[in-house]
Amino acid sequence: MRISTGTRRWMLAAALCGGLITGCSSGSGGGDSDEKAQARPATDSKPLAQGALRPLLLTQADLGTGYLQVQEKPGTDKFGDVSVQGCPSLEKLGQRGDEMMFASKAETSFTYDTKATLGEELHSDRPSVLSSKLSELFGAYTACPTYTMTAGDTPIEVKIAKSATPKLGDEQFAYTSTMELPSGAQVLKTMAVRKGNVAVMLVGAPALVDRHIEAAVGKVPAGR
């Protein structure tokens, strides 16, 4: 199954070094948990524009010493040749493509101590849209405990495990992805928190995601 352009970022962010981030860091994933403080949106406010999201992104000042922001070259397509096999839910998701994207997005990424990495995406849409699409996306990723992702000619075995989430925002989603790479097993953690009409997503070394998710969510004002 070939992954459409609109879904590649989610795929790589979830399970492949070089998605939102520039590399991977070894680590251990969090424990499985089906207990999430899910809240149905009481209001359906309009999405924020990209310009309103950018000031809400994490900065080097927020993260502390040892972090370096990654400057990406404009027009670089890191997702052009990615496919996945062995997971019907992801295959179905891939066929839907751009309809799974949100109204607006802002992003940034960092390296830590030149080894570990942390990427952040902020998405905005109506709360009901964020809620339904995040549930569908994370449900698809956690539906298959294992699958194979191919980047170019390189097959990568991926193992997925649900992760516990902190009690932040209105809804929380998280899982860890373990990639069996030639250099050894590498682990990424993907966590998303919806706060009103903004979704905060961190992807990277599990320890860094856990360390900074509260600060990332805290930059989104209440009542959005």
Q: What is the pTM of this model?
A: 0.81
32: CATH:
3.40.1000.70
What total of structural domains would you count in the chain? 1
pLDDT of residue 170: 95
> With left for phi above 0 and alpha for psi between -120 and 50, is residue 66 left, alpha or beta?
left
Residue 11 forms part of a structural domain? yes
Residue 223 forms part of a structural domain? no
Residue 85 forms part of a structural domain? yes
Question: In Å, how far are 62, 72, 135, 207 from 215, measured between CA atoms?
Answer: 8, 24, 23, 14
The one-digit pLDDT tens for each residue of the chain (224 residues) are 333 333 344 444 444 333 332 233 323 333 333 444 445 555 678 999 999 999 999 999 999 999 999 886 655 555 556 778 899 988 888 777 667 789 999 999 999 997 899 999 999 999 999 999 999 999 998 999 999 988 778 888 999 999 999 999 999 999 999 988 877 888 999 999 999 999 999 999 999 999 999 999 999 998 65
**Boundaries of domain holding 193:** 5-70+79-218
Question: What one-character-per-residue DSSP string does 102-125 give?
Answer: -SEEEEEEEEETTTEEEEEEEEE-
Distance separating alpha carbons of residues 56 and 221, to the nearest angstrom: 9
CA nearest neighbour of 93 among 34, 143, 148: 143
